[in-house]
Amino acid sequence: MKTVKVKIRVILALSLVVIAGVFYGCKPKDPLNSSSPIISGGSGVADEVYVAPGEKDDYYLFTSGGFSGQLGVYGLPSGRLIKQIPIFSQHAENGWGYSEETKPMLETSYGFVPWDDSHHPKLSQTDGKQDGRWLFINGNNTPRIARIDLKTYKTVEINEIPNSAGNHSSPYPTPNTEYVVAGTRFSVPIDETDVSIDSYKENFRGMLSYISVAEDGAMDVAFQILMPGYDYDLSHAGKGPSHGWSFFTTYNTEESNTMKEVNASQRDKDFLTAVNWKMAEELVAAGKYKTLETREYRSNRWDEATHSATSQVRKGTKVIDASEHPGLVYFMPCPKSPHGVDVNPTGEYIVASGKLAATLPVFKFSKIQEAIANKDYEGTVHGIPVLKYESVLAGEVEKPGLGPLHTEFDGKGYAYTSMFVSSEITKWKVETQEVVDRIPTYYSIGHLCIPGGDTREPVGDYVIALNKITKDRYLPTGPELTQSAQLINIAGDKMRMLLDFPTIGEPHYAQACKASLITDQQVKFYKIEENDHPYAAKGEKEAEVIRNGNEVHIKMTSVRSHFAPDNIEGIKVGDKVYWHITNLEQDWDVPHGFAVQGARNAELLIMPGETATLVWEPKEAGVVAFYCTDFCSALHQEMQGYVRVSPADSDVELSWSLNKAPATE
């Protein structure tokens, strides 16, 4: 019996192999795919994503960290995680949000907010193309926009957005990064804020904020457009012929304030909103705005010279009421509860995905302009004209899949739309709206990303699926599973699945670009001569300990492999001790760490040439050890020191030393 079973199994297995072989052999040869780097002898797909030891990836992929509040940086095609950039959340690993220098970055009008929900990374653009200068990302919960400098991969600015809630349709830059935007997904009462929730229709308003970006990257809330109390979900700026406009998907036109799952899904069509931001600029220049001073907000900036952030309080924004300025804002009917809105590379077509709709509408910018010129309105709501659907429509993609969410574009006239409910990507031709290919994704895809696929110049042969549900794709890790992305080749007619890779937090959206756009400008260390930190010790000669009442400042240096000073006495219980560590190294990849026992914050990771500060408030007398946490040399284990803490009333003199008899103050 046993042998018979085994034989049957062998036969079955063999026939499966044969069948598989036949299928493989029958696979249509795709001439366009022949440019893919398939190395002979390998299993094609593996070779396409394999990056050999010592070799580097061709692309950077920046994924939002979702509820981690951070940003993941990956290499493609390998899918290897190469960095996690702390933005809105404290990051004990390098002291972000714990060190004295970084704490101001997380200040808000609500006080210190050490977390946010980061959604949409967006690379800066010049002339509608990726320029590799910065990456912007929104904080959804406590409305903020952050700017990351791609020379240092560091968050250098976080700007709070006042009069806003649920900062979701953000940051979506204009083609020359003139502005990044911030639209409210949750309308809120603006003037009088303590009102009954039942008074939603009367008191709640949406706000579309335009944040200017200066030549050096500095952000400022330039103006805000007051809108009806709808939910403004996602956005993209026009480009080419549509430059000067931006588009927002708009749902809950029912203006419901409860059980929105049902009550905000009543209408067959909600709106696509078109905003003429060039006109808004002119209105502001002509003084046609009201100043709204309901709420303070914060502008937090990093200074590379002092290696420190400052947080500024601001008050007052310039507000333009959309209903009072004809020509500024138009609504277009859009089926049903639209989510993503995406503009194709030519800037002529605008795709808005009705996430509960069976079709995918494609709007045409020239038809929108014509309808505006002809006043081709089907009516007016809250003083804003609604253009006729048929007048602005290029066509509808029929049966694209279930739950269309987001669209990106290749450079060959095709669009790729994610289908959340049917878990697939649908490829269709922009001009004809004809579906040409589909590929399943695992599982429940949200956003998707093509390198440059949101700009005038798509550059990659990949689409990255950013999936909401992971289920069984990886080894199980208890109830909480990793998040997941997938890499798909789009060089040929047929999309081909290449790779699964896990991501940090929920990867809402991502941006990818050629690595060469960024690699050449990398900062490798900070010049110690240019360090303007007020407590920098530029050389061991400047290392010292200064007492100022109960405040003690330790100016300490680190170099492979010792601290100066490394013996300190005369600290007392009740002192507030500031450890200012200057890393004297002047070479790439030589950070030093600093940790002191009992510190109730985190460690410091200090880059070469940088100064960073950790506060420590010892609660009891004794000798406490401190050490370097980042393995720096063969004598890293020796990189340690002692600090003596004496009772508050003790008369132990303040002294410090390195390798010699103690010096005194």
Partner 1 sequence: MNYRLTFYLLLAGFVVLSCSSNNSNTGTATKQDQTNKEVPTESGKKSPDYAIKKVELNNPLDATMVEDGKGIAELKCTSCHSLEENRLVGPGWKGITTRRKPEWIMNMITNVDMMLAEDEEAQKLLEECLVRMPNQNISVADSRSILEFMRHNDGEN
| 657: phi then psi, degrees, rounded to nearest 5 | -160, 165
Taking residue 175's Cβ as centre, other Cβ atoms within 10 Å add up to 21
Q: Which is nearer to partner 1, 519 or 597 (CB)?
A: 519
Min CB(151)–partner 1 separation in Å: 15
Min CB(11)–partner 1 separation in Å: 52
Min CB(148)–partner 1 separation in Å: 24
Q: Which is nearer to partner 1, 56 or 471 (CB)?
A: 56
Min CB(101)–partner 1 separation in Å: 21
Q: How many CA atoms lie within 13 Å of 561's alpha carbon, on the beta-carbon side? A: 14
Min CB(528)–partner 1 separation in Å: 6
* Distance, CA of 577 to CA of 598 (rounded, Å): 13
Q: Which is nearer to partner 1, 451 or 641 (CB)?
A: 641
Q: Which is nearer to partner 1, 638 or 665 (CB)?
A: 638
Min CB(123)–partner 1 separation in Å: 26
Min CB(637)–partner 1 separation in Å: 12
Asked whether the beta carbons of 183 and 206 are under 8 A apart, the reply is yes
Q: Which is nearer to partner 1, 359 or 561 (CB)?
A: 561
Q: Which is nearer to partner 1, 433 or 611 (CB)?
A: 611
Min CB(346)–partner 1 separation in Å: 40
Q: Which residue from 175, 65, 95 is spatially nearest to 506, judged by alpha carbons?
A: 65
Q: Which is nearer to partner 1, 454 or 585 (CB)?
A: 585
* Distance, CA of 223 to CA of 579 (rounded, Å): 42
* Distance, CA of 450 to CA of 583 (rounded, Å): 40
Q: Which is nearer to partner 1, 5 or 541 (CB)?
A: 541
Q: Which is nearer to partner 1, 261 or 589 (CB)?
A: 589
Asked whether the beta carbons of 238 and 341 are under 8 A apart, the reply is no
Cα dihedral value 440, 444, 449, 453, nearest 10: 70
- Reduce the DSSP state of residue 518 to 3 states and report it: helix
Q: Which residues sit opposite 569 in a β-bridge? A: 655
* Distance, CA of 397 to CA of 374 (rounded, Å): 26
Min CB(518)–partner 1 separation in Å: 16
In 161-279, at which residue ranges do the beta strands (DSSP E only) sit? 167-169, 179-184, 188-189, 204-213, 219-227, 231-237, 245-251, 269-276
Q: Which is nearer to partner 1, 52 or 634 (CB)?
A: 634
Min CB(54)–partner 1 separation in Å: 10
Tokens of 556: 């300490």
Asked whether the beta carbons of 651 and 637 are under 8 A apart, the reply is no
Min CB(635)–partner 1 separation in Å: 6
* Distance, CA of 273 to CA of 246 (rounded, Å): 8
Min CB(627)–partner 1 separation in Å: 16
Contact positions vs partner 1 (CB under 8 A) = 524-525, 527-529, 538-541, 557, 559-562, 564, 584-590, 633-635, 659
The CA distances from residue 584 to 88, 209, 454, 524, 591, in Å, are 29, 43, 43, 14, 10
The CA distances from residue 129 to 33, 141, 417, 459, in Å, are 26, 29, 21, 10
Min CB(108)–partner 1 separation in Å: 39
Asked whether the beta carbons of 643 and 657 are under 8 A apart, the reply is no
Q: Which is nearer to partner 1, 245 or 594 (CB)?
A: 594
* Distance, CA of 328 to CA of 95 (rounded, Å): 45
Parallel, antiparallel or unpaired: strands 445-449 and 510-514: unpaired
Q: Which is nearer to partner 1, 426 or 531 (CB)?
A: 531
Give CA 523 to chain center in angstroms. 21
Q: Which is nearer to partner 1, 220 or 587 (CB)?
A: 587
Q: Please give the span between the terminal C-alpha atoms of the chain, in angstroms, as a whole number.
A: 92
* Distance, CA of 150 to CA of 516 (rounded, Å): 12
Q: Which residues sit opposite 395 in a β-bridge? A: 362
Q: Which residue from 237, 134, 129, 133 is spatially nearest to 457, judged by alpha carbons?
A: 129
